[in-house]
Amino acid sequence: MADQQQKPSPGATRPSRLGSPERTARGLREAGYLPNERIASVVYLGEQLAKPVLVEGPAGTGKTELAKSVAQMTGMRLIRLQCYEGLDEAKALYEWNYKKQLLRIQAGQAGQASGQSGPAEAAWSDLESDIFSEEFLLSRPLLTAIRAPEPVVLLIDEVDRLEVETEALLLEVLSDYQVSIPELGTITATQTPLVFLTSNNSRELSEALKRRCLYLYIDYPSVEREKEIVRSRVPGIGERLAAQVSGLVRSLREIDLKKRPSVSETIDLANTLFLLGAEEITPQLAADTLHVLLKYQSDIEKAAAELTAGQRA
C-alpha cells in the first residue's frame, strides 16, 4: 500500500517562481514568447491560485508554446499529455506492464514446479502482491505529474479532442490532484503542478471542467504584435519586410479560408523571404509563396484571386 501523502492546501500561499505579472511577462519574453498584459497576468494567477489555466483560441496562436515557454523560464520539467480521440485511462494515467507481469508469473510457476515454493494459495498470494507493485507500474503523464517530487508544468494539449468519459477522468484528477490505484492505494500530490489545458474549440467543454480553471483566450495577434514576433524569431529581417509579412497574413486571415495561416506559418514565410534575400513583398512574390502559408489548394487559389483583384484595384 502506497503511503498516504498530505495534500497541499488549495488556499495556502505558495512560493512563486514567477514573482509578479510584470516579471512573468519579462521572463516569457526572455524565453522567446511575446505575451500581452492579459496573458502574463493569467499565467501568474494560475500559479498563485494553484488553478489550471484553460487556454482556448484558433489553432496556431501560441497556446502550446505558452506552456513550453513557462516551463523554460522557470526551469520546471514539462510533462505533456497529447489528447486525441480514443485516449483512455491507460494512456493518460497509468497501466500495468503486462509482459513483465507474465514473465514474473511464468518464473513463479517454474519455481513452484521445482518444489521451491510452499502451498499453492500462499505462493499465488505472494506472486499477486509482487506483480502489482511499483516495479510493474507504468506511469503515464497525469500520474507522472502528480507523483513528481518537484513542481512541474503539466500540458494537456488539445483537450477538446477527448471523449466525454475521458474528460470526466481528467476532471477527477484535477479536482484533488490524487489518483486511486486499487492495488496500491491513493497517491496524492505533494506539490500542485502548474497545469495548462489547450483547446481549439472543436467542441464545447463541460462547465465542470471550465469552472475549475482560469480562462484565457488567445486570438491571432494584432499586426504590430505579429511584426514584433517575426522580428524576434527571424533575426536580421528588416522592419519593412516584417511589417509587410504581418500585413499580408492579416489580410489572408480576413478571407474565408478552410485553414487560416497560423503564427508559426507567418514565421515560416518570414524565414523564406529572408533566405531568398527579399527586401519587400511584391505581388508576384506574395503569390509565389502562398504555399508557405496555406495548405489547401482551394485556399491558395482563392487567396491568389484576392491578391490579383487587390492589385487591379
Single residue among 184, 217, 250 that ends a domain in this structure: 217
Please give the mean pLDDT across all residues of the chain: 87
Distances (CA, A) of 217 to 40, 52, 101: 12, 14, 45
Residue 53 has pLDDT above 80, yes or no: yes
Q: What is the DSSP letter of 175?
A: H
- Between strands 53-56 and 214-217, the pairing is parallel
Residue 14 lies in a domain: no
Whether residues 77 and 166 fall in one domain: yes
Residue 16 lies in a domain: no
Residue 34 has pLDDT above 80, yes or no: yes
In whole angstroms, what is the distance from residue 42 CA to residue 28 CA?
13
- Between strands 194-199 and 77-82, the pairing is unpaired
Whether residues 80 and 125 fall in one domain: no
Please indicate whether residue 29 or residue 104 has the higher confidence score (pLDDT).
29
Residue 256 lies in a domain: yes
Spell out a b/e string for 107-124, using b for 16 or more CB atoms within 10 Å of the CB, else e.
Answer: ebeeebeeeebeeeeebe
293 touches 264 (CB < 8 A): no
Question: What pLDDT does residue 185 have?
Answer: 85
Mean pLDDT to the nearest integer, 76-89: 94
Residue 68 lies in a domain: yes
- What burial class does residue 31 get, using C-beta atoms within 10 Å of its C-beta: 0-12 exposed, 13-18 middle, 19+ buried? middle
Tally of structural domains, the chain: 3
Q: Domain range spanning residue 227?
A: 223-312
Whether residues 52 and 173 fall in one domain: yes
Whether residues 168 and 102 fall in one domain: no
